[in-house]
Amino acid sequence: MQGTNDNTTQDGKRHEHVLIVGGGSGMGRALAERLLAAGNTVTLVGRSADKLDRVCVELGDPAELRTVAADVTREEDVAKLFATVGDIHHLVCTAADLTGAYAPISALDIADAHRVIDSKIVAPLLLAKHGHTCLLPGGSISFTSGIAAYRPSAKGSVVASVNGAIESLVYALAVELAPIRVNAVSPGWVDTPFWDAMAGDGKEAVLDGMAKRLPVGRVGAAGDLAQVFEMVMRNTFITGTVVHADGGHRLI
């Protein structure tokens, strides 16, 4: 049976190998930076080798940072990834392709919907299928849901659907893969590069408008979510759970 994997060293830090899919920007990048600062080994996975190279430079190109270019919506890429990555303690996926995801249902391009479904549902399924055998005792899998599952926009049916689905997948995998722990983190509005594409020059005004509505008085930062992902990874009594970090968005 899988037991606790205590990698605490004399300096009181946890030295583990964490694989982050979607670590090229936003929450995944912030998590990588946080884990590296604590002395962990991090493998970043993304579709763009150039983007991963840039992140390595930005993070100081530490010896503990590895990168793998792969499209995790393709099973052959995922199988190859886990055939070469070695043992890992934790698997985290923050990746999502939301290109064209927000549209009225009457104007929905089904190709856009398939792209979102592939990135938010198919990819996690493949990561769990091929990755769970690489997890060391005490390991965990963490996926990303989102506030759209609870507060969908009028043009956000696809995003609401996939966020709800990933949470149901977490419940099922937590049972099937036990004692591997499987959880989801559900962010609210977070100031990441996603909003540069969504709102363009109006980004600041859009985020400020939401900040005034939230009980905490601000939108999230990538570092806020990185802290939550690490907590979910570390706490060995959390599984089959959705952890909300949304600034109280579900209350408004």
The verdict on residue 109 lying in a domain is yes
The verdict on residue 76 lying in a domain is yes
The C-alpha atoms of residue 155 and residue 143 are separated, in whole angstroms, by 24
CA angle 46, 75, 163 (to 5 degrees): 65
Beta strands per DSSP E along the chain: 17-21, 41-46, 65-69, 88-93, 135-144, 181-187, 190-191, 220-221, 242-245
The verdict on residue 75 lying in a domain is yes
The verdict on residue 210 lying in a domain is no
pTM reported for the whole predicted model? 0.92
pLDDT tens, position by position, for the chain (252 residues)? 233 445 654 455 668 999 999 988 899 999 999 999 999 999 999 999 999 999 999 999 999 999 999 999 999 999 999 999 999 999 999 999 988 889 999 999 999 999 999 999 999 999 999 999 999 999 999 999 999 999 999 999 999 999 999 999 999 999 999 999 999 999 999 998 888 877 788 899 999 999 999 999 999 999 999 999 999 999 999 999 999 999 999 999
b/e per residue, 84-95, with b = 16+ CB within 10 A? Answer: ebeebbbbbbbb
Q: How many domains does the chain have?
A: 1
Record the tokens describing residue 68, joined without a space: 């793998």
CATH number for the domain that contains residue 25:
3.40.50.720
* pLDDT at residue 201, rounded to an integer: 84
Q: Domain containing 112: what range?
A: 17-193+223-246
Pairing of strands 17-21, 41-46: parallel
* pLDDT at residue 10, rounded to an integer: 44
The verdict on residue 207 lying in a domain is no
The verdict on residue 170 lying in a domain is yes
* pLDDT at residue 23, rounded to an integer: 84
> What is the sign of the dihedral through the CA atoms of 43, 47, 49 and 50?
negative
The verdict on residue 215 lying in a domain is no
Nearest CA-CA partner of 19 in 192, 188, 229, 206: 229
Which are the contacts of 171, defined by CB distance < 8 A and separation ≥ 6?
240
The verdict on residue 47 lying in a domain is yes
